[in-house]
């Protein structure tokens, strides 16, 4: 699935709505120092429409992405993987004895 970016028309409307200020912290936006953010990330089904677009300063966008978007997407992936029985691969924890021989011990058995 490719990322669906906002159209120029949506960006223009969002910029007009923001009126030169970050829509999260209300800081004055400097030329080129802001991003158009998906309120609901594209990966989670957020549409590239004005209602889902906000103009954020780079600091706010970075914080939102790291603190909200990435964990939400990761949790969604984990949950949907779990639903179709996709698990983390077995991890080798070390060695154990089996019939007198040293064999690698996995964290769990399948």
- Comparison of 18 and 60: residue with beta carbon closer to Zn ion: 60
SS3 100: coil
- Binding residue (CB under 5 A) for Zn ion from 25, 66, 68, 102: 25
Part of the chain binding Zn ion (CB under 5 A), chosen from 4-12, 25-33, 38-46, 94-102:
25-33
Tell me the per-residue interface mask from 55 to 84 with Zn ion, x by CB under 5 A, - otherwise: --x--x------------------------
Query: In this structure, how many other beta carbons lie within 10 angstroms of the beta carbon of residue 69?
Result: 20
Which of 7, 82, 103 shows the shortest CA–CA distance to 49? 7
24 touches Zn ion by CB under 5 A: yes
How many residues sit close enough to Zn ion to count as binding (CB under 5 A)? 6
Give me the DSSP letters along 32-50: T-EEEEESS-GGGT--SSG
22 touches Zn ion by CB under 5 A: yes
What percentage of the chain's residues is helix, strand, coil (to nearest 5)? 40, 25, 40
23: CB partners within 8 A, 6+ apart: 17, 54, 55, 56
Q: How far is the CB of 74 from Zn ion (least distance, A)?
A: 24
Q: How far is the CB of 86 from Zn ion (least distance, A)?
A: 37
- Write out the residues near Zn ion by the rule CB under 5 A: 22, 24-25, 27, 57, 60
């Amino acid at each position: 699935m490719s990322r669906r970016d906002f159209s120029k028309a949506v960006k223009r409307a969002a910029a007009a709505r923001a009126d030169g200020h970050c829509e999260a912290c209300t800081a004055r936006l400097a030329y080129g120092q802001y991003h158009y953010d998906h309120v609901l990330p594209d990966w989670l089904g957020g549409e590239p429409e004005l209602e889902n677009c906000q103009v954020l300063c780079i600091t706010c966008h970075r914080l939102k992405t790291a603190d909200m978007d990435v964990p939400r997407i990761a949790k969604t992936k984990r949950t949907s993987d779990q639903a179709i029985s996709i698990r983390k691969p077995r991890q080798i924890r070390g060695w154990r004895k089996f019939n007198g021989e040293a064999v690698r011990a996995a964290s769990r058995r399948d």
